[in-house]
Structure 1
Amino acid sequence: AHFHLWVFLLCSLLSLLLGTSFGTASTLGVVFMLLARTAGLDPLLTAGAVMSGIYVGDRSSPMSSSAALVCALTGTSIYDNVRLMWRTSLLPFFLVCLAYVLLPSARAESLPHVDGLFADGLVLDARALLPAVFMLVPLLLRWDVKKIMACSILAGCVVSLAVQQMSPAALLRCLVFGYEPPAGMEMLSGGGLLSMAQVAGIVLLTSAYAGLLEATGLLDGLSSLCKRLSLRLGAFRTTVLAGLPVAAVSCNQTLGIMLTKQLCAPLWQNGKEMVLPLENGIVLLAAIIPWSIAGSVPCAIMGVGPECLPYAFYLYMVPLTDMLLRRR
């Protein structure tokens, strides 16, 4: 029972572990979409639950690139920021869980059995959890994130070679071009460095705009407008609301975070104060823009359109509750 609640919770857990919305959508999200379509469940509601879950980790995982960017721009610590983000997201997280419980879901017997779905092509035992262990334990010890990623990648390569019996050539091909699964397991295909080349190119190109806009002073007028608006709404609400049109124009999280920081930096005394409005604003709001890669790429991976975004409750529950509960 409560299929969509479990979709949200499991996608949240995996995204916290991986720190990537795209990676979670292309793995666990694809599996849940297959289950939903096989059981005759609403694919839009399922995709919305996936979208909610994948951005839990994208916003508040130490492994997240957007969280790392916010740290770099504000001069703060990733682990301190994660603690702040969880403090403000406990209530909306509970409300999102409640929403998925109350919405119509599926009975357990109506879902297909997938126990042995991957048994023929993969070795599934405790040894396959080694990369996760090499990620979780150093996280608890608050290691440097880059070292944690290196350890987990190395552990994944060892598991691929020793447990899954991949050849070194096949492993190298998988790392570069993505995984090519056996017949019947096509849902696991994808990944690899080249799969992110186009998205990385878009982010690199648009990020250059942030430096151009700052150097030419084209944002000075908008920054003054934000100052006047903050006198009525407060700095926090102004920063979060400014993130919405910025996300619509920038079409990606990276440029959106940079531009919002440039626009609203005069409203704050230091970078640490800007962490929550950036994380609770632009990081999530970018995903509700249909033409932004933060929303369009996961939807394309799952084979749905932007019609699923209204069901991604977490994306707007966090900024709404935070704005409503603040005095200024």
Structure 2
Amino acid sequence: MNNTNENAKQEKQEFSFFTALLPLVLMIAAMGITVVWLGQDPHIPLIFGTASAAVVAMTHGYKWDDIEQMMFKGIRLALPAVVIIMLVGLIIGSWIGGGIVATMIYYGLALISPALFLVTIVLLCAIVSLSIGSSWSTMATVGVAGMGIGLSMEIPAAMIAGAVISGSYFGDKMSPMSETTNLASGLTNTDLFVHIKHMFYTTIPGIIIALIIFFFLGRQFGGGDAASQTEVTDMMTALQENFVISPWLLLVPVVMILCIVIFKMSAIPALIIGIVLGFLCHLLVQGGDLGAAVGALQSGYVIETNNQMINDLFNNGGLQGMMFTVSMTIVAMTFAGILEYSGMLKSIMQQIIKVARGTFGVVASTIVAAFTTNATCSEQYISIVVPSRMFLRTYIEKNLHSKNLSRSLEDGGTLTSVFIPWNTCGVYIYGVLGVAAWEYAPYAILNFTVPVIALILAATGIGIQKITDEEKEAFIKKHYSNVKDEEAAEAV
């Protein structure tokens, strides 16, 4: 029996770098033809990529049963994200039906100057995301309202989405309650608050640059011409005609934030509370009937008015409205599962590690590896997990503190996930904000500025923490003493 197992293992060959890269190249080529040229959705190119990866794996000794298990493992990794995506569909439907989104937009139009809108929405999303530790929840609530306010001010959707994303990911990255922040610190054996403090070097300059750029971008919308003022007035009038507008409705998002901040709830129960409160507001405040309230949860809110912008914005939400996002997430993770569990991704990563020379080389390789994982495995969590396994010992042996690695994982992994259209983050943002990755990418200023700042710091040595030989030996003894050297990276 043992001999049989050994033979099975020997049949599986390692992948060369170019062979491992082939499914990714084919998928990206198919994505370009299908999405850019034909104008179709990205699901089929991802399925084509999955099939290509399966064929490559089978030519290296993997059986179909093995490939099935790889795909299922990939899907299982995305199940928590899928649950949150479905709940977000419910919360958008219930908050629109309950008048909560309309109330936020109404008071936003009344209080926010068009010239300062982009700066304001960055700061607001940053505060909320920092408080609750979730960029996704922030975009689904404050972000959706922000899109409505900005569009009514005739600000381009891509620009608004970029501001929402920049603010949301700042808070997500810097919050001690963020899953990615805890993951990056935990996998690198770095104290959580040491990790957060070390991210100040890259993230604070990044958000300052974003605010300055959005300030200047917003100035072109501050003219206050009669036509735009009329549109804003018409929008506010239409909101009052179709919804009960009350400041008391703002208590719903406040309660959800308090549940996370004060009562330390995780995202799922907090979202459920938000859904229930929105549902009750639909019935008790807006006077909707039970069938309409349930329909808003299932199929999204439905409204027909004389204001086309109201129609476009508020015919939204619901469980069914998120099925595009759910299906794309599942398809993307089948592709990611084969790349990860067959060893193709490892072969790609090993080539990236080989170019690491000195501090700049190690940091640059980490950021490239995290971005590559986002592109190949379609999930930001994997972009932190896989490079952390492969780079930790490299950092320590080069006398670099582990917090340099934890920061680089977030700079290259958490933030760049939004730029990959088939990554769960890119898919989610398209589903919630209605803007594709290639449209908002130039305006997701924080997300592309921070990795550049990280590279500059690595090149200059600013903000790079070294450790002594004694600290290096103590770290290796503590974390690697019970494993063989060749198994160290996998054991971390």
Common fold: TM-score over 0.5: yes
Q: Does structure 2 conserve the Cα–Cα contact (< 8 Å) formed by 1:127 and 1:159?
A: no
Give the equivalent residue in structure 2 for 1:258. Answer: 382
Aligned length: 315
Deviations 1:99-129 (A, max 9, x none): 1223452225223234434111111112211
Give the equivalent residue in structure 2 for 1:6. Answer: 117
- Evaluate the alpha carbon distance shift between residue 208 and residue 97 of structure 1 in structure 2; reply closer, same or farther with a 3 A threshold: same
Give the equivalent residue in structure 1 for 2:207. Answer: 93
The equivalent position to 1:54 in structure 2, one of 158, 165, 168, is 165
Deviation at 1:25, TM superposition (A): 5.5
Q: Does structure 2 conserve the Cα–Cα contact (< 8 Å) formed by 1:289 and 1:295?
A: yes
Deviations 1:117-169 (A, max 9, x none): 41111111122112212122223325122332232222222222211222221
Distance 2:184 2:279 in 1: 33
Distance 1:31 1:206 in 2: 32
- Evaluate the alpha carbon distance shift between residue 259 and residue 319 of structure 1 in structure 2; reply closer, same or farther with a 3 A threshold: closer
Give the equivalent residue in structure 2 for 1:143. Answer: 264
Give the equivalent residue in structure 2 for 1:109. Answer: 224
User: What amino acid is aligned across from residue 370 of structure 2 in structure 1?
Assistant: G
Residue 153, structure 1, aligned to residue 282, structure 2? no
Alignment TM-score, normalising by the size of structure 2: 0.54
Deviations 1:75-101 (A, max 9, x none): 579x96995697452221111111122
Q: Does structure 2 conserve the Cα–Cα contact (< 8 Å) formed by 1:29 and 1:50?
A: yes
Q: Does structure 1 conserve the Cα–Cα contact (< 8 Å) formed by 2:374 and 2:382?
A: no
Q: Does structure 2 conserve the Cα–Cα contact (< 8 Å) formed by 1:157 and 1:171?
A: yes
Residue 218, structure 1, aligned to residue 375, structure 2? no
Identity of aligned residues (%): 17
The equivalent position to 1:239 in structure 2, one of 366, 369, 389, is 366
- Evaluate the alpha carbon distance shift between residue 119 and residue 193 of structure 1 in structure 2; reply closer, same or farther with a 3 A threshold: same
Deviation at 1:298, TM superposition (A): 5.0
Distance 1:290 1:56 in 2: 20
Deviation at 1:307, TM superposition (A): 5.1
Deviation at 1:177, TM superposition (A): 0.8
Give the equivalent residue in structure 1 for 2:445. Answer: 313
- Evaluate the alpha carbon distance shift between residue 303 and residue 276 of structure 1 in structure 2; reply closer, same or farther with a 3 A threshold: closer
User: What amino acid is aligned across from residue 258 of structure 1 in structure 2?
Assistant: I
Higher Rg of the two aligned structures: 2
Give the equivalent residue in structure 2 for 1:29. Answer: 147
Distance 1:142 1:97 in 2: 31
Deviation at 1:173, TM superposition (A): 0.8
Q: Does structure 2 conserve the Cα–Cα contact (< 8 Å) formed by 1:242 and 1:260?
A: no
User: What amino acid is aligned across from residue 350 of structure 2 in structure 1?
Assistant: S
Distance 1:81 1:143 in 2: 21
Distance 1:201 1:234 in 2: 38
Deviation at 1:267, TM superposition (A): 0.6
Distance 1:85 1:26 in 2: 31
Q: Does structure 1 conserve the Cα–Cα contact (< 8 Å) formed by 2:415 and 2:447?
A: yes
Give the equivalent residue in structure 1 for 2:326. Answer: 200
Distance 2:145 2:198 in 1: 25
Q: Equivalences for 1:161-310 in 2 at 5 Å?
A: 161-183=283-305, 184=307, 185-186=310-311, 187-232=313-358, 233-250=360-377, 252=378, 254=379, 256-259=380-383, 261-268=385-392, 275-289=406-420, 294-295=425-426, 298=429, 306=438, 308-310=440-442
User: What amino acid is aligned across from residue 331 of structure 2 in structure 1?
Assistant: L
Distance 1:70 1:209 in 2: 26
Distance 1:142 1:86 in 2: 26
Distance 2:278 2:163 in 1: 27
Task: State the Cα RMSD in Å.
Answer: 3.9
- Evaluate the alpha carbon distance shift between residue 275 and residue 192 of structure 1 in structure 2; reply closer, same or farther with a 3 A threshold: farther
User: What amino acid is aligned across from residue 139 of structure 1 in structure 2?
Assistant: I
Alignment TM-score, normalising by the size of structure 1: 0.77
Give 5+ residue unaligned stretches, structure 1: none
State the secondary structure of the residue aligned to 1:198: helix
